[in-house]
Amino acid sequence: MTNRIAFVGAGKMVSAIVKSLLNSNLFNKEDISCCSANDGTSDTLSESTGIQKKEDIFDLLSSNPDVLVLGCKPQQINELPNEIRQLTDRTLILSIMAGIPLSRLSESFPKARNIVRSMPNTPGQIGSGISAFLFSQKPKDDDRRLIESILESLGVVKEVSEELDIDRVTAISGSGPAYIFEFTCALQQAGKEIGLSDEYSNEFAKQTVIGAAKLMEQSSFNPEELRNQVTSPNGTTQAALESLSANQFRKIISEAARAAKSRSIELSNA
């Protein structure tokens, strides 16, 4: 039997999921629908993929989707009409909204077959993401397989054991790509400051990060071992690493992750 999936929201992450699902042949375009605020995103997604664009959430739910994916902004959950409580009877709810706890989702969808809170990340747009997920209650095997297959279209999938792990994962993998992009920006800036041209600074910094990530992915060595392999005693890399250590580089990253985790928990309690 063919499963039907509907998306509330049509932003970058929803678009990534839709395109990944179509590429994986898990769903046919006729079985995927979406709706969004009046921002044109659902029109763009429908035109680029061929999925159905619905006018509002009532129209969206009229197709009786097996899975309803909440991909809107976290604050928009308060704007969902109360009537959908009755229209999501026996529907599997998958939330990819940051900071919205299972308890709050259960209040909004009391008749849902089950509810899943998940945190994917933006590399899922190219199938290189990692997603954590957690069911609100013990799922049926078919439901677990269905959720895993949806998230696996984005990359690696891990089921966590407690909800606080979702907030922790948000701080590492959810927000983490931005840390890598910011580090790349810093490396580009450093190149310019020591005399490289803008073109060379940008190209060498970007390719260095890409190459290091690919090496880390394919190597049997862990990141610390890879770091040691490129660090010759009293060499240039050691001088750079000593500078990073003196400026408490790891502490800076740790504090950034703690700030992201704290914000995720704040959103959960809002």
Give per-residue pLDDT as tens, 89-101: 889 999 999 889 9
Residue range 5-161, CATH number:
3.40.50.720
Q: pLDDT class for 8, splitting at 50, 70, 90? A: very high
pLDDT level of residue 270 (50, 70, 90 thresholds): low
In the chain, list all ranges with CATH 1.10.3730.10: 176-269
Contact 186, 192 (CB under 8 A): no
How large is the average pLDDT for residues 148-166?
A: 95
210-218 mean pLDDT: 97
Please provide the average confidence, as pLDDT, over all residues in the chain: 93
Does residue 1 register a pLDDT over 80?
no
pLDDT in tens, 20-46: 899 888 889 999 999 988 788 999 999
> Which string of DSSP letters, residue by residue, matches 3-34?
--EEEE--SHHHHHHHHHHHHHTSS-GGGEEE
Among 12-16, 38-42, 186-190, the minimum mean pLDDT is found in: 38-42
Strands (E) located in 137-246: 155-159
Class of domain 176-269: mainly alpha
213 vs 124, 183, 223, CA distance in Å?
15, 13, 10
Query: Which part of the chain is CATH 3.40.50.720?
Result: 5-161
pTM: 0.89
pLDDT at 148 over 70: yes
pLDDT band at residue 140 using 50, 70 and 90 as cut-offs: very high
Tokens at 126, concatenated: 């190219």
Distance CA 69, CA 81 (A): 16
**What value does the mean pLDDT take over residues 204-230?**
97
d(CA 142, CA 164): 25
